Structure 1
Amino acid sequence: MPYHWTENPPDAGAVLTLWPYRSLPHKGFAVVILVTFVVITIPLYPLLGTALVWGMLPFMLAGVAGLWWGLRRSYRDGTTLEELTRAGDILTLIHTPARGAPQSWECNIYWAKAELHDNGGPVPFYITLSGNGRTVEIGRFLSEDERKALFAELSDYLRKG
């Protein structure tokens, strides 16, 4: 699962770290680009030595470049990170987006409440934390099943306080 609970000393509490799922490792990225380049150039082989190659080549290279750009953008977006930490009675959620400044939320753990919204949110089974007069989302980038499992674990953690 793309989240992990880290147990710290008893006075520090647990740390929950969440990150987006990465289905394509960097080695797979290189393989996809190479295979795409090889497959996309197959129609050029019969045309070698003719002027048509120069007419088709820029479009084929643009297709490979577009795939490269799209996968790189996906990797950058995958650097999103969320950390839920506890220091004494204070629960802190820090959301670090791929682009932009980190956002934080703090609340006394005894007032914190996790809610699972089956529908009506930006994604099904949307998880929010509320307390200290604010409601924040957590784990939006997780899959439905992962959000359900996270909600159960998070509710247990908050209940133990």
Structure 2
Amino acid sequence: MPYEWIEPDGKDAPTVELHLWPYRSLLRKDFVLFIGGTCAIVLLPLLVLLGSPVLWALLPFFAIAVGGVWYAINHSYKSGEILEELRIWPDRITLEHIHPRQGRKSWEANPYWVQLKIDPNHDRITNYITLKGADRVVELGAFLPEDERAVVFSELQDRLRMVLNARND
């Protein structure tokens, strides 16, 4: 799953920390193999045209096709570098949304007053998770698949309850 729970150690460290990122089906090492395979498949029909002037007429189109595939996958990797970090202390909760092109966005509130909600029938995203606190509503894990958002919601609800119960003890 493209998220992990961290229980950091340290004096000023949060009680619990959640990192979320978009799912990637093609790893970087597989990207190299895919582009190599694409080049081989594209260039295979050109072997018949070796020594022919037609080869030079078709070669730019094949180069554009391979370059387009490379650009599209590379662009997908760049947009997949989103990271959300949710940190929970007994007296505060923070969410940092890190986007490669849009920069960092932060939110902070008191966990005692935070309302955690999931909307299974949201018009845009199924199982839409929101946190409401400090007069703001922020979304969490909108890039995750809907079934994983439901799991994250229940785990977050349990962890938040655990932190608040430990605070009251």
TM over 0.5: yes
Output the CA distance in 2 between the equivalents of 1:9 and 1:42. Answer: 56
One-letter code aligned to 1:45: L
- Structure 1 pair 116/10, CA: closer, same or farther in 2 (3 Å)? farther
> Cα RMSD between the aligned structures?
1.5
Question: Quick one: distance in 1 between partners of 2:53 and 2:125?
Answer: 51
- 2:5 is equivalent to residue 2 of structure 1: no
Q: Is the 8 A contact 1:110 1:158 kept in 2?
A: no
In structure 2, do the counterparts of structure 1 residues 27 and 9 end up closer, same or farther at CA, with 3 Å as the change threshold? closer
Q: TM-score, normalised by structure 2?
A: 0.89
Q: Does 1:114 find its partner at 2:119?
A: no
Partner secondary structure for residue 102 of structure 1: strand
Identity of aligned residues (%): 43
1:44 is paired with a residue whose SS is helix
Q: Please say if residues 84 and 93 of structure 1, whose CA atoms lie closer than 8 Å, have aligned partners that are also in contact.
A: yes
Q: How many angstroms does 1:87 deviate by?
A: 3.6
Counterpart of 1:140, as a letter, is A
Q: Kindly report structure 1 stretches of 4+ aligned residues shifted beyond 6 Å.
A: none
Q: How many residues end up aligned between the 2 structures? A: 161
Structure 1 spans left out of the alignment, 5+ residues? none
**Which residue of the other structure, out of 81, 85, 95, is the alignment partner of 1:93?**
95
* AA matched with 2:28: H
Instruction: Structure 2: state its 5+ residue gaps.
Output: 165-169
1:70 — aligned with what?
72
